[in-house]
Structure 1
Amino acid sequence: MTVTAINPANGYPLPPEPDLTPADVIARAEAIAPTLVARQAEVEERTYYAADVHEAFSKAGFYRILVPRRYGGYEFGVDTFFQVVRTLARGCPSTGWMYCLGAVHAVFAATVFPERVQEEIFSGGDFIAPSTVLPCGTAERHPDGGWVVDGTWGYCSGAPYATHFIGHTLVAPEEGDEPEVLLFVVSSDQFRRLDDWGRQLGLKGSGSHSLVIDNAHVPDDQTLPIHQSQYQVTQDTPGVRLHINPQYGGGPVSFAFLEAAFLAVGIAQGALDEYEHLMRTRTTMYPPIVSRAADPDFQRWYGEATGKLATAEAAVAGTVSRWQDLCAEGPQAFTAEQDWRIATMCREVIRLSWAAVEQHVFPTAGSSAVTRGQRIERVWRDLSTLQSHAGIAVAMNTMVNRELAKARFGLEDHH
């Protein structure tokens, strides 16, 4: 979608709906989410959400929520964005995941890249940029000072409708040296998507295909000689200076874990929605035969799951507020310790969400409710796959704890 209207006050492009509010986009997500429930099977079969859903998201302004105002975005808070994510994931986990991991990286791009690069990558208004943390492929210097990037990157959630890709690669080392990491951003005309997603246990419709880059030329200012997890914000960022908005100066590590936390809560809430439906429509198996809603055991299981999820929801809302408060306090406030501390909070949110489903909803819903294609069965598969994500299964349980302790006790190299 091309932005044409210009704000006469500052010369910047206007978004399609200049008067749109955060409440409006959240209400739109709440209206769309129920329509996604019945389409979960087709999303898994296709391996990504349909073109009409993509168009609905674009029309609703979802791909511009985090895009800076000066480029025709709405520049709403990350709390608004994550409420939309949680709501969509509640309707369809794969759709929520694909949307989130495609649109969320507008914050990182607006934080770290210089003005010239931002003017280019945000010129289309809608911004969908999958991002991966595993360095793949290679980068070699071009005679003009830029880079020639070549390789294949897997697990690029959001790939089917991507406008850009943010990835990591390895710079070809000098003889005897270790390769160095290079972060880069490229537009969709510089990569192609492979049809290689959908064989996983869950999140089959998350559009997490591989992207291939064949010897693309990448200007030097579209790269950073660092891994995303090592980016420090305590000395200010290009985004804060350019947009005068502290949101573009927050810790990237904790922000990445916030994505997973909100997705986990939304997905688990979808399971609880279905569990409540079963309680209202099914009876117990043993005498006295009564509605599950009237049975003391089902009441207890429902209460246990509800309590865990209500706590997770409150915790993740408090966590994102903490992230925003640190941004508002200024660059010096968002230390490595604070970044890792928020990551540990996100871990506990995910654990609570998984426990609600794995301990209470899934085992008591009944075998017919967890057969192939049933909503609770799909949520169990999706959350299981979320649990296997390297950032959650490995980083959250090992690196996050170590790095928090190192930062707290002043040990060197805490990133």
Structure 2
Amino acid sequence: MAEAKQDRRDRGRGGGPPEFPELLQRAEALVPVLRERAGKAEELRRLPDETIEDLHRSGLFRILQPRRVGGSELPFRSIVELGSVISRGDGSTGWVLANLAAHHWLLGMWPKQAQDEIWGESPDNLIGSALIFPRGRATPAPGGYRLTGRWPFSSGVDAASWSLIGAIVHDQEAGTNEPRIFVLPASDFTIIDTWHVIGLAGTGSKDVAVDDVFVPEYRSVAVREITGGPNPGSGVNSSVLYQLPAISLFAFCIAGVSLGIAQGAIEYFTQTTKTRTSYYTGRNLADFVTLQIHLGEAGAVVDAARSVMLGDCDEATRIVEEGNVPSLEQRARYRRDGAYAATLCTKAVDVLFQATGGGAIYARNPLQRAFRDVHAANAHYVLNWDINGAMYGRVALGLSPDATI
């Protein structure tokens, strides 16, 4: 591996990569900072540079990166736990963190040559993504593929040195169409600023375009190769983390953001309701039974969502630890559960937004941002309940899923 650039991360207490307890402390310390910066992120329509630097220095970007290159290589559930903490401070920051941290995890499943090229240059290299496969077209070429397309929703791309880009490979000779993911340096794609939105506005999820670029074979994997079990990266990253079914479990990476947004909304509602009085009666709002019920409902559904997410993460990890791969039915359930958990979190925010009354619509009230952000998160393909509920239903009824999971 080429000599790496200086590590931008604060080391752990023992001098090595930070472990989960220390990363949790660092994440908690960032929550009030990110709350203060949330408005700035929306104005910039991307994360402020100081936020990107904080995420580097804390080590949070590298929680799922292999230890062989200096990453923390935490259990998969940690991306839900730590991503939700950051999202309590700001949903846009949590969204970018969840995506870019997950891409270190995915790269661990790539051929060693690709890993060494990217992490050898710098283990802090950030990797964006554009994974709406039908928006790209690739054709086989000697030694690799030629790739063309334009993709929306590339979250955090301004800070990324590389990007994972999905496309359908059309092989006319073989008569096949196969979804593959390609990893490209920033010099091979163009960023197009289309990000003028009302939710998760600080994520900078702009379009990217690629015009007939050659991608070598070692920088590509077929989607079917990362659905669980050994993969092209297993020779150097043999741990359970890198043999998990990436396509079905990715939903939990970003569902953790919805969880954190809802948890942050509950915190704010609880804190402010204790001291608020009714405009009309002068009574303390904390005495209103209806508000007590609404708060109880929001807390219950969020706790249920968290339990479902972490339970599935632990189950998948346990199955792979035992030398097996989650079945098609289990993988379909993970997609179902990720989407349903996000839907529950959205419901919790909706309950509190309505319970707050007219005060919730003021720009100074964090609940309006939580409302916008959690609905934007729920619009993602892997969190959309209709899509993923139907996918589970098809598999449960003995039909094939509509996509590779």
* TM-score for the superposition, normalised by structure 1: 0.87
Alignment partner of 2:277 out of 269, 283, 290? 283
Alignment partner of 1:147 out of 134, 145, 148? 145
Can you list the C-alpha shifts for 1:68-88, whole angstroms capped at 9, x where unaligned?
Answer: 111222212222232221011
Indicate yes or no: 2:376 matched with 1:376: no
Distance 1:18 1:26, change over 3 A: same
C-alpha displacement of 1:181: 3.1
C-alpha displacement of 1:376: 0.7
Residues of 2 paired with 1:219 and 1:141: CA distance? 10
Distance 1:318 1:192, change over 3 A: same
Partner of 1:8: none
Partner of 1:137: 136
Partner of 2:115: 118
Contact 2:99 2:254 in 1 (8 A): no
Indicate yes or no: 2:293 matched with 1:295: no
- Aligned pairs for 1:5-404 (under 5 A) are 17-18=15-16, 20-111=18-109, 113-123=110-120, 124-135=122-133, 136-142=135-141, 144-174=142-172, 177=175, 179-197=177-195, 199-224=196-221, 226=222, 228=223, 230-231=224-225, 233=227, 235-287=229-281, 289-330=282-323, 332-358=324-350, 360-393=351-384, 394-404=386-396
Residue identity opposite 2:182 in structure 1: F
Contact 2:353 2:367 in 1 (8 A): yes
What SS does structure 1 have at the residue aligned with 2:87?
A: helix
Can you list the C-alpha shifts for 1:139-177, whole angstroms capped at 9, x where unaligned?
Answer: 2444x4222222222111121111221111233553895
Residues of 2 paired with 1:411 and 1:270: CA distance? 35
Contact 2:64 2:102 in 1 (8 A): yes
Contact 1:278 1:365 in 2 (8 A): no
Residues of 2 paired with 1:121 and 1:349: CA distance? 34
Residues of 1 paired with 2:44 and 2:107: CA distance? 29
Distance 1:19 1:36, change over 3 A: closer
Contact 1:128 1:158 in 2 (8 A): no
Residues of 2 paired with 1:94 and 1:101: CA distance? 11
C-alpha displacement of 1:260: 2.8
Contact 2:332 2:391 in 1 (8 A): no
Residues of 1 paired with 2:381 and 2:404: CA distance? 20
Residue identity opposite 2:194 in structure 1: D
Distance 1:290 1:210, change over 3 A: same
Residue identity opposite 2:284 in structure 1: S
What SS does structure 2 have at the residue aligned with 1:238?
A: coil
C-alpha displacement of 1:3: 4.5
Partner of 1:11: none
Residues of 2 paired with 1:187 and 1:45: CA distance? 28
What SS does structure 1 have at the residue aligned with 2:194?
A: coil
Contact 2:137 2:168 in 1 (8 A): yes
Residues of 2 paired with 1:178 and 1:23: CA distance? 48
Residues of 2 paired with 1:357 and 1:411: CA distance? 31
- Among all aligned residue pairs of Structure 1 and Structure 2, give the percentage whose two residues are the same amino acid: 25
Partner of 1:10: none
Contact 2:234 2:243 in 1 (8 A): yes
Distance 1:276 1:200, change over 3 A: same
Contact 1:250 1:326 in 2 (8 A): no
Distance 1:413 1:342, change over 3 A: closer
Contact 1:257 1:346 in 2 (8 A): yes
Distance 1:413 1:387, change over 3 A: closer
Q: Which runs of 5+ in 1 are unaligned?
A: 6-13
Residue identity opposite 1:270 in structure 2: G
Residues of 1 paired with 2:125 and 2:252: CA distance? 19
Contact 2:226 2:243 in 1 (8 A): no
Residues of 2 paired with 1:42 and 1:411: CA distance? 41
What SS does structure 2 have at the residue aligned with 1:401?
A: helix
What SS does structure 2 have at the residue aligned with 1:185?
A: strand
Residues of 2 paired with 1:234 and 1:192: CA distance? 32
Q: How many residues are aligned here?
A: 396
* TM-score for the superposition, normalised by structure 2: 0.89
Distance 1:204 1:361, change over 3 A: same
Contact 1:139 1:149 in 2 (8 A): yes
Which segment drifts farther, 89-98 or 398-407? 398-407
Residues of 1 paired with 2:49 and 2:228: CA distance? 41
Residue identity opposite 2:307 in structure 1: A
Residue identity opposite 1:104 in structure 2: A
Residues of 1 paired with 2:402 and 2:30: CA distance? 48
